[in-house]
Chains A and B, each alone.
Chain A
Amino acid sequence: DTAVSQTPKYLVTQMGNDKSIKCEQNLGHDTMYWYKQDSKKFLKIMFSYNNKELIINETVPNRFSPKSPDKAHLNLHINSLELGDSAVYFCASSQQGQNNQPQHFGDGTRLSIL
């Protein structure tokens, strides 16, 4: 009955590799997000999709490419991984509407670059 689920939970890989993280939500929300949490626990938005359309794209290197095959899924593909990409990546979802609706988060993917 998990609301926002991400896979994998842990990802350890070498510099230069390409990897993907998957996210799915069963809340019926129409907006999904990717956040990056650094070692100091600071949470920063990377991307946001509403009904499969990109609506927020922060200044993220173009090695990061999100893909939303449908409104319940938002995947993140990362090319040519670098040491600085090590972080925890969180997927979130919310229902867009007139009022700003709270976002619901997954449990994160811990990415470690060797």
Chain B
Amino acid sequence: GQQLNQSPQSMFIQEGEDVSMNCTSSSIFNTWLWYKQDPGEGPVLLIALYKAGELTSNGRLTAQFGITRKDSFLNISASIPSDVGIYFCAGFTGTASKLTFGTGTRLQVTL
């Protein structure tokens, strides 16, 4: 089946720094989603992307749907301690298809 590889696997950054992470696949996706999971909770939707090239922001978060439709990127600007968590990309390859999740990027923010 499809696999979504996220990088980096984990990152330690200082408060105030900007963060970039990406998600790549060998298959074409027609929808990309970015979720954040805090400890002890379920994934929460951050951003949804529906068109190749689309760039969408949600506060300090910006995500892009890659032109090749095989990748997506998430940036967080001016990180704060509550940004700590695991960030997952997820995608659909067609309508009414299964949602495939990435391997996750674990973000730690130090003061």
Contact = CB atoms under 8 A, between A and B. Distances in A.
Q: Interface size for chain B: under 10, 10 to 19, 20 to 34, or 35 or more residues?
A: 20 to 34
Contact of B41 (A103, A104, A107): A107
A62 to B, nearest CB: 20
Contacts, number: 49
A39 interface: no
Q: Interface size for chain A: under 10, 10 to 19, 20 to 34, or 35 or more residues?
A: 20 to 34
Contact of B98 (A4, A56, A98): A56
A11 interface: no
Interface string B26-51: 00001101010100111111001010
Contacts of A92: 42
Interface in A35-54: 41-45, 48
Contacts of A108: 40-42
B108 interface: no
B95 A98 contact: yes
Contacts of A42: 101, 103-104
B86 interface: yes
Contacts of A99: 31, 50, 95
A102 interface: yes
Interface of A: 4, 41-45, 48, 55-56, 90, 92, 96, 98-100, 102-108
Interface of B: 30-31, 33, 35, 37, 40-45, 48, 50, 86, 88, 92, 95-99, 101, 103-104
